Structures are given as structure tokens and as C-alpha cells.
Amino acid sequence: MQDDGSFIVTAVEIPNSTISHSLDFRSSKYISALKSSLSLNAFLLQSTGKTLVNDDLFDTRTMSYSIGPEIYLYAASWINFSYKFYANVVNSKINDELRNTVKMNKHYFNCNVFATSHLFNLNFEYYAYNGTRYNFVDLMYSYSFSESKIDLEVRWNNVLNSKAFIDQQYSQYIITEYVQVLRPSQILLGVRFTF
């Protein structure tokens, strides 16, 4: 914007190409003797290209890799649980100099307990981000009145009264952070019926 209020817009014509290589691996195995399934997801991505920043052209390279083992165990007719671990690392380089490293580790645990007309559910998520640990816990209890086709459900959301949920999305050019402010810990009562 000039002093007289006019705009000057400039454009630069340069090749705009990026070369990306990715490898994605997924495997799952059901073990009937343990009534459980094991799975593994792994991902590797490398992107190279050129980026124009403030009239300077840079060679950029991004390496991202993640791994996510998971187990689902049907321990008995009245209980099952699952556990998943997810680790992700992103390294960004400009002109072969490491400029940024982002690491994220997440743990997910889910447990369901069944007893005739009763159901109890526990969801737990833990991760560390920028040196801060985050824990999220939700509980749910449900009772079914089978003769009257009514279900009573009690949920305790955000048991630990966590203030925010943070997630990140990565690409070779940008890291986007999403912050969601959470509701305070709350208990909800619900009734479902069919007729």
C-alpha cells in the first residue's frame, strides 16, 4: 500500500513443483486363543520442493513418520478393552538446515464392562505436547429395563475438568494447531425409550 492509498501487486513466476514419497503400512492379526486382535499402522512421508518467503527462494524438505500399534482384547463375555499408542515426528528443513521438529505421542484406552442389563464404559486419552501433559477421561453407565424398553444412561464427561484439547495438522509447508476450549466437568442424565 502506497502513501497515496494505492496498492502495488507483484507476481513472481517460478516452477511450483514438489516431489513427495510416501509409504503406508497396515497390518492386523486376530488371535483366537486370546480372543484379541493386534494391529500396526506405520506411515513415512518425505517431501522436497522450493518455497518463496519474503522474496527469497528456499529448498525445503519435510520428513514425517508415525507408528500406531493397537490391541483389542475380548477378555471375557462381560469385559473388553482396547489400547492404542500413536507416535508422530515431523522434521522440517530449509536449505538442509533443521528448522523445526514436532513430536506428538498419544495413548488411548477404552474399557467396556457388561453385566446383564448394565453397561459401564471408560474412555481415557493421554498425550504430552510442548512439555504439558493432557489427560481426558469420560465415564458412562447405562441400565436397560428390557420389559419396558427403556434405557437409562448417566455420563460423566471431562472427569478431570481439562480446560483445552489441542491437536495439530502437518504438511511440508505449515503446522496448524487447533485448540478447542472444553466445557467444565459435567454429569448428564439421559433416558431412551422405544414404542
Per-residue pLDDT of the chain (195 residues; tens, 9 = 90+): 788 888 888 777 777 788 999 999 999 999 998 889 999 999 999 989 887 777 788 888 989 999 999 999 988 889 999 999 999 888 888 888 888 888 888 999 999 999 888 999 999 999 877 677 888 999 999 998 878 788 899 999 999 998 888 777 665 566 778 888 989 999 999 998 877
CA–CA separation, 188 and 185 (whole Å): 10
Q: For the chain, which residues make up each domain, given as ranges?
A: 71-193
Kindly report the length of the chain: 195
Cα gap 47→37, rounded to integer Å? 34
What integer pLDDT is reported at residue 130 of this predicted model?
67
In this prediction, residue 121 carries a pLDDT of: 96
**Of 81, 79, 87, 88, nearest to 37 (Cα)?**
81
First-to-last CA distance in the chain? 68
CA distance 39 to 192: 35
pLDDT at 190: 94
Interatomic CA distance for residues 107 and 109, integer angstroms: 7
Query: C-alpha distances in angstroms, 40 versus 22, 49, 127, 168, 171?
Result: 17, 30, 19, 22, 23
pLDDT at 173: 61
Closest CA to 181 of 167, 168, 164: 164
Question: Which residues sit opposite 43 in a β-bridge?
Answer: 24, 66
**In terms of DSSP H, where are the helices of 11-164?**
none
